[in-house]
Amino acid sequence: IAIRLLMGGHRVVGVARDFSHFPTGHPGFIHESIDFSDLTQTVEKLKRLVTKHQDLDGLVCCAGQGQLASLEEFSHAQIQDLMNVNFISQTFVVKSVLPYLKRKGRGDIIVVGSEAALKGSRKGSIYCASKFALRGFTQALRDECGSAGVRVSLINPGMVRTGFFDDL
């Protein structure tokens, strides 16, 4: 997504835990490292990031972590981590950027979910729950932002050609 935006002439502020697989040398690309599994540092880093880049016109939320197993195979910490990355951190990012977009009276928020938000599946109880939560959040946010000129969209892809499924 970032590469396509850069090719279209947009300036991109990329936020990720790890940029080792992304060519960060493009002059229009600014990268900030944030580990969304650590919510305490996420909030502070997002405050600094948004203060520094108040001219944002849009937001693409596409952080995700895949972990498929039956519920009893998950530890409590794994459940918390999956929900933090796949759902809670996304709400924190949107909460940080939304006031700026609303003040501008325009903007786009695009959330990349998963087809797992549409139907539960075996060994997907926690992963699907995180994506169902993201879907509900996005649908409600769309209603909240409709009169503010901020468009909210949700994309629920199926399997895509990435390394996402390599460790599943």
Give the C-alpha separation, 165 to 134, whole Å: 20
- CB atoms under 10 Å from CB of 168, counted, come to 10
pLDDT at 39: 83
- Residue type at 83? M
Would residue 100 show up in a list of annotated catalytic residues for this protein?
A: no
Residue 164: pLDDT band (50, 70, 90) is low
Write down the catalytic residue from 47, 102, 123, 127: 127
Instruction: Among 29-33, 77-81, 126-130, 164-168, name the one with the lowest average pLDDT.
Output: 164-168
Confidence of residue 98 (pLDDT cuts 50, 70, 90): very high
Query: Above 90 in pLDDT, residue 152?
Result: yes
CA distances from 69 to 78, 131, 157 (A): 11, 15, 20
Could you tell me which residues come within 8 angstroms of residue 32 by beta carbon, excluding any fewer than 6 positions away?
13, 14, 15, 45, 49
Helix (H, G, I), strand (E, B) or coil at 12: strand
- Cβ neighbors of 71 (< 8 A, separation 6 or more) are 125, 126
Is 131 annotated as catalytic? yes
What is d(CA 17, CA 32) in angstroms, rounded to the nearest whole number?
A: 8
User: Residue 123, class by beta-carbon neighbours within 10 Å (0-12 exposed, 13-18 middle, 19+ buried)?
Assistant: middle
pLDDT of residue 103: 92
Residue pair 89/38 in contact (Cβ under 8 Å)? The answer is: no
Tell me the one-letter amino acid at 142. Answer: R
Average pLDDT over residues 30-35: 88
Handedness of CA 91, 55, 30, 163 (dihedral sign): positive
How far apart (Å, rounded) are the C-alpha atoms in residues 42 and 63?
13
Mean pLDDT across 14-41: 84
